[in-house]
Amino acid sequence: MSESTTLDETATGTDATAQHSPEPPDDGHAHGATDGQYIVIALILAVITAAEVSLSYMDVGPIFIPALLVMMAVKFVIVVSYFMHLKFDNRIFSFLFYSGLLLALGVYVLALATFEFFA
Amino acid sequence: MAIIERPATEPVVAPTPTPAPIVTPSEAFGTFRRPVETTGWRAWVFTVDHKKIGVMYGAAALFFFVVAGLEALLIRAQLAGPEGTVLSADVYNQMFTMHATTMIFLFAIPMAAGLANYLVPLQIGARDVAFPRINAFGFWCFLAGGIVLNLSWFLGGAADGGWFMYQPNASVPFSPTNGVDFWALGLQIAGIASLTGAINLIVTILNMRAPGMSLMRMPVFTWMILVTQFLLVFAIPVITVAFFLLTFQRSFDAAFFSPAAGADPLLWQHLFWIFGHPEVYILVLPSFGIVSEVLPVFSKKPLFGYPFVVFSGIAIGFLGWGVWAHHMFASGLGPVSVAVFATATMAIAVPTGVKIINWTLTMWGGKLRFTTAMLFAMGLVVQFTIGGLSGVTHSVAPSDTQQTDTYYIVAHFHYVLFGGSVLGFFAGFYYWWPKVFGKCLSERLGRWNFWLMIIGMNLTFGPMHILGLQGQPRRMYIWTTERSGEGFFNLGFWNLVSSIGAFILAVGVLFFLTNIVHTHRKGAPAPLDPWDARTLEWITTNPPKEHNFDRVPTVSHLDEFFHRKYEDVGEGDAHDLRAVATAEEVLAAEQAQADAQIHMPSPSYWPIVVAATLPVIALGIIYGVYIVSIVGALLMVFGIFGWAMEPGTAPDSDFDPSPVDDGGPTTELVRSE
Amino acid sequence: MSDAATLEAQVAHDDHGDHGGHGGNGAGHPPTTTGLSHNKLGMWLFLGSECLLFGGLISTYMLYRGRASENLGPDQIYDLPFTSVSSFVLLMSSLTMVLAVSAAGRKDVRNVKLWLTVTALLGATFVGGQVYEFTSFYREGLGFTTSLFSSSFYALTGFHGVHVSVGIIMLLAVVGMISRDRIPGDRAEVVELVGLYWHFVDIVWIVIFTLVYLIPA
């Protein structure tokens, strides 16, 4: 992975995308977590998964589904942010991925709402 | 070719394109040796050059435009008089389905892809696209998809469910031929083309701009292509899901859309229109971009409110995701949903109106030159506005309920798609023809082309408003005198007018085709800068060399080329332009600092090999011979491995070290100077 | 053109020669406008696009999960302990994948190959579990066309399974190509790209596991 400084930048003062990378762009290796931290993250994920599974054997009333959805979202964000380095990487990557994700969430929730799925 | 050697010492005169040395691969990658031909059909079939791919996209799309146009003529011939006998009911259904499908998926999308492929790298000052082989793969996928789709005509009948293929009407009991299967899988393959092409173009635009080309210095055409490609990236997967479910339903007996099995047929409608509405903007935004290039050039004024045009394009792209259910007002969505989508639909008229105003104000007070390109651009502004206004009437849900499935809808979307996309493309053809082919299309034939098309389209689609409001249903294959009414608004008269208009329109298109032939036979070479243009693609030869720019230009303004030619010597708010350099001088200044050595991506067999396996897989599924599909899939995996092991740009060691000429300075001058 | 701009362009230019290339020839990437690699931008765009693909399949399943024939609905047929274990296996394959990427960053070829192989094996275990699950469902009478629930369940999890299988092929191919030194371009980046794809497949499963298996219909 080459750490390419863009010489264009000097001439590109107003570039919205370019403003993110005045310093050499981060390719994920330099600022990512260490192997030990990855193992800790994986353990956290495992614990959440265990909590999810045990929750489905318990009767916790109305918070059951919200709790599961929150844990799902937390796992999702942890994997995306740390394992996929999105937290450390250039914001353009986050923009591209989360646009797709939020768009998917928006249109499909809206479509299911017209089926009165949530009623 | 892959490598362009240049004399190391800079010659004093403008250097010229050194002919690419003939090279042979000294090392084989994957299974095959690299193709090295620079002429003949191999130079096209194995090319990864964005310009050649752009031309192939354009040629194939134009062919499908003619095919779909002929289908439209048959439809209008059938409806010209009462009790039409030109087509049977069954063939009529296939005809309107394939007319729409071909126009949308095989003409409008690939034509925009072709123009984008050719022009975006030139407009941003790049030498090629980000993924040249994926680019070639995309073109071959589109062609393969188009062929699979149209094969159905010869193999038992084409799809007949209308272009939105509502379910369960298009399931096996109601559409027993294989037509819909060919349709679903053909479009699936064409969808791969759109998806890969979109990723390629977005990365190209984000990542390969010339020094100084910030986002807000990009030409509007490039901006609109960027928005369009984002729409494609996110819309194509939705229709992919719909096509897969349809294929499962028809070929593997699932019941996703069968009410008899408890399914909700509205699922198809939602999936289709979640894709389908952004698709409308995918069709029209590239033309908006073209018009935003053409109007300023022929008004000799900068585009009025560049940031507004850009941001309204982005706003259209964004809002386009929240209005899909306005295609479904008559399906019983419930009052809340209808109200939400009706309001969103009204909102989207605002950014579109902003664009119309900006274009009008661009022309206001300008030194207008009524070239054919300008006529088509002005035609778009007028015709699209009519379509936009009838569109706003649809956003009023009660009114829409009456209009649904009548000819009024047909009138509306032809005004936006023909008056929007098609007129924009034609403006682009006349504007960029000298850039691509080195010769200007004939203006005299062009005028005939324009006026016949404008008169033809208004005669064809204008009366459809009346027909629709009088209650003529869409997709009706026959009408009778008894039921056509009387007086000025009788259906018979207006159907005849519409059919006559369609043939006038066809003559207009014929003039365009004649113009192409005429120009290529007799046209003189175009000047370097025939239109006094403004953007970067004109700072190179006509047509551009394989590596586009001898030196990648450095950009310091919006409309960079214009600013190199003219200086504003006016004081305060007064503008007084003074010519400071000719186009030839600008180009010569660039060429004087030509790069010594340019590596270009090398041609490859793999894109077409991988793309060719897709129809094999599709045909296996359609006819239930799964072994054929499996063989096709294995071939595809093999192709991908070959692809993965082949470097995109061949290393120097991959070429014969002794080029044909000795690399000394050449004296041949650039042709167009 | 001003002299300053010319000079600047000339400087920029010396590194610009390779502009048309992608993936390159081992000499690293040509400078890009954003400073980011083409391949990685392309991969993230593709993953953003895949969100809408899986979103559509998940929505179809959510709409139809209650439309099952009696005794063969989601609440009767799922084997939660079994699926929990295979979900855990896939989750841990993300850990081994990230270790491979990390080793690739250190140019530690031996560990790259090791962790990629382990990831592929964990992935294969997951797919094997899915095959077992499908077979046992089928034996209980839940075919692809049995009900809307079964069709949408098999379509969704089948698509995911195909994605995992493609990932396994890519992992093994990368191991093979590293061993024979046949990767054109940046090796660490290739590992990273495969890793992004693999993690994506994992996060899709995180969503499927909760929405399909844990939340009762």
Q: C-alpha A49: how far from its chain's center?
A: 17
* Degrees, nearest 5: CA angle B54-B55-B58: 90
Over B536-548, what HEC string results? Answer: HHHCCCCCCECCE
Q: C-alpha B422: how far from its chain's center?
A: 10
Residue B568: its H or E element:
strand B566-568
Question: What residue spans define the domains of chain B?
Answer: 49-533
Structure tokens that stand for C184 in this block:
């054109």
Interface of C with B in 102-121 (CB under 8 A): none
* pLDDT tens per residue across span B198-228: 999 999 999 999 999 999 999 999 999 999 9
Does the pLDDT value for residue C15 go beyond 50?
no
Inter-chain touch A112–C95, beta carbons under 8 Å? no
Q: What DSSP designation does B80 have? A: S
Does the pLDDT value for residue C54 go beyond 60?
yes
Per-residue confidence (pLDDT) for residue B199, from 0 to 100: 97
| Cα–Cα distance measured from residue B405 to residue C163, given in angstroms and rounded to the nearest whole number | 40
| Cα–Cα distance measured from residue A44 to residue A33, given in angstroms and rounded to the nearest whole number | 15
CB of C31 less than 8 A from some CB of B:
no
Chain B residues whose CB is inside 8 A of the A7 CB are: 211
* pLDDT tens per residue across span C109-132: 999 999 999 999 999 999 999 999
Average the pLDDT over B233-237 and give the result. 97
Candidate from A7, A16, A106 with C-beta closest to B211: A7
Neighbours of B385 (CB within 10 A): 18
Structure tokens that stand for A87 in this block:
């937290």
| Cα–Cα distance measured from residue B137 to residue B440, given in angstroms and rounded to the nearest whole number | 31
Q: How far is C121 from chain B (nearest CA, A)?
A: 20
Inter-chain touch A21–C34, beta carbons under 8 Å? yes
Report residue B615's pLDDT band, with 50, 70 and 90 as the boundaries: very high
Is B406 within 8 Å of B468 (Cβ atoms)? Answer: yes
* pLDDT tens per residue across span C66-105: 999 888 888 889 999 999 999 999 999 999 999 999 999 9
Inter-chain touch C59–A108, beta carbons under 8 Å? yes
| Cα–Cα distance measured from residue C26 to residue B545, given in angstroms and rounded to the nearest whole number | 27
Neighbours of C64 (CB within 10 A): 26
Does the pLDDT value for residue B83 go beyond 90?
yes
Q: Cis check for the bond before B168: say yes or no (omega within 30 of 0).
A: yes
Cα separations in angstroms, B202 against B207, B546, C155: 8, 22, 30
Tell me whether residue B516 is exposed, middle or buried, using C-beta atoms within 10 angstroms of its C-beta: 0 to 12, 13 to 18, 19 or more.
Answer: middle
Pick from B27-41, B500-514, C110-124: least confident: B27-41
Per-residue confidence (pLDDT) for residue B34, from 0 to 100: 72
* pLDDT tens per residue across span B167-193: 999 999 999 999 999 999 999 999 999
Higher pLDDT, B671 or B398: B398
Percent of chain B residues topping a pLDDT of 70? 91
* pLDDT tens per residue across span B445-480: 999 999 999 999 999 999 999 999 999 999 999 999
Neighbours of B39 (CB within 10 A): 7
Average the pLDDT over A59-63 and give the result. 86
Nearest CA in chain B to A11: B212
Pairing of strands B577-579, B597-599: unpaired
Per-residue confidence (pLDDT) for residue B520, from 0 to 100: 95
Alpha-carbon dihedral of residues B331, B337, B340, B345, nearest 10 degrees? -20
Pairing of strands B597-599, B3-5: antiparallel
Best mutation target, B241, B337, B343, to test chain A (most A CBs within 10 A): B337
Per-residue confidence (pLDDT) for residue A31, from 0 to 100: 56
Show which subunits contact B, needing at least 3 CB pairs below 8 angstroms.
Answer: A, C
Give strand ranges (E) for B418-457: none
* pLDDT tens per residue across span B133-152: 999 999 999 999 999 999 99
Question: Closest by alpha carbon to B428, among B374, B507, B355?
Answer: B374
| Cα–Cα distance measured from residue C56 to residue C49, given in angstroms and rounded to the nearest whole number | 11
End-to-end CA distance of chain A: 50
Inter-chain touch A2–C29, beta carbons under 8 Å? yes
Pick from B166-170, B520-524, B581-585, B602-606: least confident: B602-606
Is C72 within 8 Å of C154 (Cβ atoms)? Answer: no
Chain B residues whose CB is inside 8 A of the A104 CB are: 234
Please name the amino acid found at residue A83. F
* Degrees, nearest 5: CA angle C32-C50-C45: 10
Over B490-555, what HEC string results? Answer: CHHHHHHHHHHHHHHHHHHHHHHHHHHHHHHHHCCECCCCCCCCCCHHHCCCCCCECCECCCCCCC
CATH 1.10.10.60 assigned to domain B49-533? The reply is: no
Q: How far is B215 from chain A (nearest CA, A)?
A: 6
Domains of chain C: 1-35 (no CATH), 37-214 (1.20.120.80)
Is C48 within 8 Å of C196 (Cβ atoms)? Answer: no
Per-residue confidence (pLDDT) for residue B4, from 0 to 100: 53
Pairing of strands B597-599, B566-568: unpaired
Average the pLDDT over B5-26 and give the result. 44
Structure tokens that stand for B527 in this block:
């000047």
Q: How many CA atoms lie within 13 A of B445 on its CB side?
A: 17
Residue B224: its H or E element:
helix B220-251
For this complex, say whether ipTM is above 0.85. yes
Show which subunits contact A, needing at least 3 CB pairs below 8 angstroms.
Answer: B, C
Question: Closest by alpha carbon to B189, among B241, B136, B140?
Answer: B140
Per-residue confidence (pLDDT) for residue B41, from 0 to 100: 87
Does the pLDDT value for residue B37 go beyond 90?
no
| Cα–Cα distance measured from residue B222 to residue B120, given in angstroms and rounded to the nearest whole number | 6
Structure tokens that stand for A102 in this block:
């939020």
Tell me whether residue B24 is exposed, middle or buried, using C-beta atoms within 10 angstroms of its C-beta: 0 to 12, 13 to 18, 19 or more.
Answer: exposed
